[in-house]
Structure 1
Amino acid sequence: MRAALDQAGELIAGAEAVMVCAGAGMGVDSGLPDFRGDEGFWRAYPPYQRLGLSFVELADPVHFGSDPELAWGFYGHRLALYRATVPHSGFDILRGWGARAFTSNVDGQFQKAGFTEVAEVHGSIHHLQCLLPCRSAIWPADDVAIEVDPETMRATGPLPECPSCGALARPNILMFGDYTWVPDRSQRDLDALASWRRSQLGKRLVVVEIGAGNAIPTVRRQAELASAATGALIRINPREPEVRHGRGISLPMPAAEALGEIQSRLG
């Protein structure tokens, strides 16, 4: 492990640019659940185990039309949780490296930690859209506060509405089986990231992948693609740390610990 950490430190020390690709495991050290399998999800949300509802079933936009109190109970609770969460020390380390961020997380933790350019491939819970949608507008959820019954996990108060047509609003998040997600905001930031990556051609770009598993490999694919030319990949994952064909450094550690150990080697 020490040798791998030393190699990671050498990569970062010699980097001309750093890109972080983060999955759900990035937030675990901040106290956020990673929803790993139904059991992990139910440990975080026991009422849903009593109802026999999985994360995949709840993260389906159909509920906003058929049972909006159920849908907004889940997402309203998550919105409050993410607002109250303090990003762990690893975020500051990455920001100190000048890292550009790509993430599948919808929690807004990178922005809360001071990152100004973040590509959120699955959208953000801190932004809303019309459920229909009546148009492609996306607006901040800053003034939204959902009251949730902790026993039933159902929303009990007023629900947000589209300011244009008055229909129910929903989070601007790509859910499972989602055909009405408005991707414009995410696509703009993804295009900006792609432009930045092109500007790094010929430079020593180091990719730090954190907490990204194989089940939904969006983040892993992005990290492997971005590091394909050089093999300068640092994969931080306590459960699935393996790298293919030896093209990268494997660190089977939690995010904050691994980043702290790398930082300590930079002098």
Structure 2
Amino acid sequence: MKEQHQAVEQAVAWLREADGLLVTAGAGIGVDSGLPDFRGNEGLWRAYPALGAARIGFEAIANPASFADDPALAWGFYGHRLKLYRDVVPHQGFTILQRWSQRMRHGAFVRTSNVDGQFQRAGFPERSVAECHGSIHHLQCVSPCCPSIWSATGFEPIVDEPACRLVGAYPRCPACGAIARPNVLMFYDAAWLSQRTDAQEERLHRWLGSVSRLVTVELGAGTTLPTIRRFSERHGPRVIRINAREPQIDPAKGIGIQGGALATLVALDHAFTQATGT
């Protein structure tokens, strides 16, 4: 408990001194909004029993080959997620992050491996979010026949949820008429179009160059796919790692606080408010 208290005190000091807030996030940030965390196939199969019955793992369904082998199943999975993410109400923690950033000269920038668009839905500007694995709210040709990436707005997936199968019309590429797929980086994915994400990363790089006293708040990023954790650590030494299971971090890079995203952000905000008198 003493170590946790000291970590909170250090986090508050860094937040007070910072002129820019880098938010890095993995799937764990969405759990408090009611989103599933596919940690291993067990989590996937709890959310999608039809995939469990067929013993179809996450690497198999989140794979461009699934759109060639069984597009109704692939779009059953991604269509259900698209509907889920469109309806999600982001938790209070997103508001806390925005409020902290408003005190800082350079505001906030987000880098997330999530494809759910939750940060934009919570009010973070599109220009200040980098989605390193793409976005389910954008589509591309499954081939792809062209470099076009377009909004999924207007596509309303009709899904037989128990069977995890799309029963409505497929989204189509406007150039060639082939089935479209989400503009999401999948496993073994040589067809993903990265231009949108590349532009986001370029904006992030420019923003980082403008910040002199950076603080990084990392939320719910695990070690199974450590993309976000490594990125956070490259932008130490003031990293505040918030993680329910794996809060460990090299002390030269930052501090770790064990806990869920929402509860920990609320506790930090309370300490921050007391320290600043705001």
Task: Assess same fold via TM > 0.5.
Answer: yes
The Cα offsets for residues 54-108 of structure 1, whole Å up to 9 and x where unpaired, read as 1111000111122110110000000001111100111111111222100000000
Classify the secondary structure of the residue corresponding to 1:128.
strand
Q: Aligned residue for 2:270?
A: 264
CA distance in 2, matches of 1:44, 1:153: 10
User: SS at the partner of 2:139?
Assistant: strand
Distance 2:79 2:133 in 1: 17
Q: Which moved more, 1:140-149 or 1:245-254?
A: 245-254
1:84-95 to 2 correspondences below 5 Å: 84-95=87-98
The Cα of 1:196 is off from its aligned counterpart by: 0.8
Distance (Å, rounded) in 2 between the aligned partners of 1:211 and 1:126: 22
CA shift for structure 1 position 164: 1.0
Q: Does 1:187 align with 2:198?
A: yes
Q: Determine if the alignment matches structure 1 residue 111 to structure 2 residue 120.
A: yes
Secondary structure of the residue that 1:265 maps to in structure 2? helix
Match of 1:206 in 2: 215
CA distance in 1, matches of 2:140, 2:253: 40
By how many angstroms is 1:2 displaced? 2.1
Mapped to 2, the partners of 1:247 and 1:137 lie a distance apart of 39
Q: Alpha-carbon deviation of 1:199? A: 1.5
Question: Residue 77 in 1 paired to residue 88 in 2?
Answer: no
Q: In structure 1, what is the Cα distance between the partners aligned to 2:16 and 2:27? A: 26
SS class of match (2:272): coil
**2:230 equivalent in structure 1:** 221
- Which deviations, in whole Å up to 9, do the C-alpha atoms of 1:225-263 show, x marking residues without a partner? 111xxx101000010000124531111110011111111
SS of the residue corresponding to residue 170 of structure 1 reads strand
Identity, % of aligned positions: 50
3-state SS of 1:136 partner: coil
Who is 1:153 aligned against?
A: 164
Give the aligned partner of residue 60 of structure 1: 63
Mapped to 2, the partners of 1:43 and 1:153 lie a distance apart of: 12
Question: Any idea what the Cα deviations from partners look like across 1:113-152, whole Å, max 9, x if unmatched?
Answer: 0111100000000000011111111100011111111221
Equivalenced residues, count: 262
Structure 2 residue matching 1:126: 3-state secondary structure: strand
Q: What SS does the corresponding residue of 2:24 show, helix, strand or coil?
A: strand
Deviations 1:14-60 (A, max 9, x none): 11111010001010110111101111111122221111111111000
2:141 to 123, 130, 155: 130
Mapped pair 1:96 → 2:99: yes
Unaligned 5+ residue runs, structure 1? none
Q: Is the aligned partner of 1:166 residue 2:177?
A: yes
Distance 2:100 2:63 in 1: 37
Alignment of 1:47 onto 2:53: no
- Counterpart amino acid of residue 68 in structure 1: P
Which residue number in structure 1 is paired with residue 18 of structure 2?
15
Partner residue in 2 for 1:238: 244
Distance 1:14 1:265 in 2: 15
Supply the AA of the counterpart residue of 2:224.
Answer: A
Q: Where in structure 1 do 4 or more consecutive aligned residues deviate above 3 Å?
A: none
Q: Secondary structure at the match of 2:246?
A: coil
Cα RMSD after superposing both structures? 1.0
